A and B are shown apart, each in its own frame.
Chain A
Amino acid sequence: MLAHSVFFYFFSVIAIFSSLMVITSRSTINSVFFLILDFISVGCLFIMVGAEFLGMIILIVYVGAVAVLFLFVVMMLNVAEQKQSWFIGKKSTHIPIGLIVSVLILLELLVVVGGWKYKDDLMSSSTLNLSNISNTHQLGLVMYTDYILYFQLAGVILLLSMIGAILLTFRQRKGVKKQSYLNQISRDPLSSIELRDIESNKGVKIDD
């Protein structure tokens, strides 16, 4: 058990430290890197308690995809400059709005966690036999039987938000030349090459 506790304290200390660094570090890029470190160590903690599937999914989804996008956004925007304009120019509307949103989220979290109730037969559920089958299999058994409605609802919500994001960023600009692969591939020499006899000192007018 010694090794187990050593690893547990190792990962949890890193997780707590890096989550503190996420909100305190001055440079935004460093914040994102610490966020990634946090995700990784939380994933390792999941693996240590035997939830290997969840641990791997955290690595794949959060570290492999979500955090990459965070990093992208932070690198593309010049966040340092914007930050200065928030704090120095006093007309900023970001901070009050941010405060309102974060207080709301805190209240919601409190309400949800305060009223948290486990399903009565969660631990004694007949579909769960903790010793024989692997973690992934167990998760599948529960997810597609007892919680199929929530599972599907979560999927629908994700789909909706995806469509929303696409709609918000979709702009049809005018005057942009678009390539049609079919037209490009189906060109042949007969329709696109023309032989002409050119008189000297006259030149040819090319249609434009």
Chain B
Amino acid sequence: MMDYLQILGNEVYKILFLLVPILVSVAMIVWLDRRVWGLVQKRKGPNVVGPFGLLQTLADALKYIFKEIIIPASANKVVFILAPIVTMTLALVAWAVIPMSEELVLSDINVGVLYLFAVSSLGVYGIIMGGWASNSKYPFLGAIRSAAQMVSYEVSIGIIIINVLLCVGSLNLKDIVLAQQELWYVIPLFPMFVIFFISALAETNRPPFDLPEAEAELVAGYQTEYSGMMYAMFWLGEYANILLMCAMGSILFLGGWLPIIDIYPINIIPAPVWMILKILFLFFLFALIKAIVPRYRYDQLMRLGWKIFLPFSLVYLVLTASFLFYFDKLPKGNF
């Protein structure tokens, strides 16, 4: 019995060691996002609280904590409260399999990619539940838009992942990174990287695909009725999801924790730093796109997902498979 308690304590310690940095970095990333947004528009962005405004998100969080949580009278209370919890939990739970270096990973499972894909596809529930339980028109419309959008773009993300898996021959995230030691997959699979990036924008409801919360039409989409800490949880979950998508992109295409070139002065930088740099690079692109691209129309969004990305990634999948088969480069089973 003591053994179990010890193992349990050990695990809890490890989980905390993972979760706390993620929550802190989510706060920092919100600051970065607003800052980049401001600089693109020739504003300063948040620069008052703390050095360079770094503590702005903390101040915001404090404000949210002390605000009153209002539950609409006609809302379905259980589902209404459950929705932000589901969003937040799913966004954090996926980080369990993300390897920051060869040793630094909470659980190194065989089907890591599938796990990531499954958890990110469950993210729809928080939004649908929130939108439906609010029992009001705008949240419901926003939730339906969001669900349709996320389900559509998941399909092409799945096919892009299959592209990478064909080259690797394993579903383990560590194997995927180690297989890129000679060549990062951005180079041979560059079109897939671009499509993955755009689909990730759509999957996380970021501009230019932020139709679920298009403020001109839907007030704030599924978040309209939420206030105080519950709204903050939606918000945090959203940003944790964005970070997760960036981490996924850097693992699948940018070689995870591997340095750019494996020569002396560069490869002494520790592996997690590389991983974080790559995540930050992708996030910087996310933030830039938010600032410079106008919003899509809904039918254009659906057309892009189903009529352009899906066929294109399917064709590229066939091409990749035939290339690997013809040149006898298919991964041999040693896993």
Interface centre among A53, A60, A64, A76 (most CB of B within 10 A): A64
Cα of A179 to Cα of B333 in the assembled complex, Å: 50
Chain A residue nearest to B7 (CB atoms) is A3
Tell me the chain A residues, 36-63 only, with Cβ under 8 Å from chain B.
Answer: 36, 52-53, 56-57, 59-60, 63
Chain B 127-169 near chain A by CB (<8 Å), digits 1 or 0: 0100010000000100010010001001000000000000000
The one of A52, A72, A133 that contacts B335, using a Cβ cutoff of 8 Å: A133
User: A56 near B335 (CB under 8 angstroms)?
Assistant: no
Cα of A179 to Cα of B140 in the assembled complex, Å: 27
Nearest chain A CB to B6's CB is how many angstroms away? 12
Tell me the chain B residues, 28-87 only, with Cβ under 8 Å from chain A.
Answer: 76, 79
User: Which A residues lie within 8 Å of B122 (CB)?
Assistant: 59, 63-64
The one of A52, A57, A68, A134 that contacts B151, using a Cβ cutoff of 8 Å: A68
Nearest chain B CB to A54's CB is how many angstroms away? 10
User: B151 near A75 (CB under 8 angstroms)?
Assistant: no
User: Which A residues lie within 8 Å of B111 (CB)?
Assistant: 52-53, 56, 135-136
The one of A60, A135, A136 that contacts B118, using a Cβ cutoff of 8 Å: A60
Cα of A33 to Cα of B79 in the assembled complex, Å: 10
Q: By the criterion of a CB under 8 Å from any partner CB, how many residues of chain B are at the interface?
A: 26
Q: Within 8 Å of chain B (Cβ to Cβ): is A83?
A: no
User: A71 near B128 (CB under 8 angstroms)?
Assistant: yes
User: Which B residues lie within 8 Å of A63 (CB)?
Assistant: 118, 121-122
Chain B residue nearest to A43 (CB atoms) is B118
Tell me the chain A residues, 108-164 only, with Cβ under 8 Å from chain B.
Answer: 133-137
Cα of A71 to Cα of B151 in the assembled complex, Å: 13
Q: Within 8 Å of chain B (Cβ to Cβ): is A65?
A: yes
Q: Within 8 Å of chain A (Cβ to Cβ): is B117?
A: yes
Given contacts A56-B114, A64-B118, contact A137 B333 (CB under 8 A): yes
User: Which B residues lie within 8 Å of A57 (CB)?
Assistant: 114
User: B117 near A60 (CB under 8 angstroms)?
Assistant: yes
7 contacts across the A-B interface (CB closer than 8 A):
A52-B111, A56-B117, A56-B118, A64-B121, A65-B151, A75-B140, A75-B144
In the complex, the 10 A-B pairs of residues with the closest C-beta atoms, listed nearest first: A64-B121, A56-B114, A59-B118, A60-B118, A52-B111, A134-B110, A56-B111, A75-B132, A56-B118, A68-B124
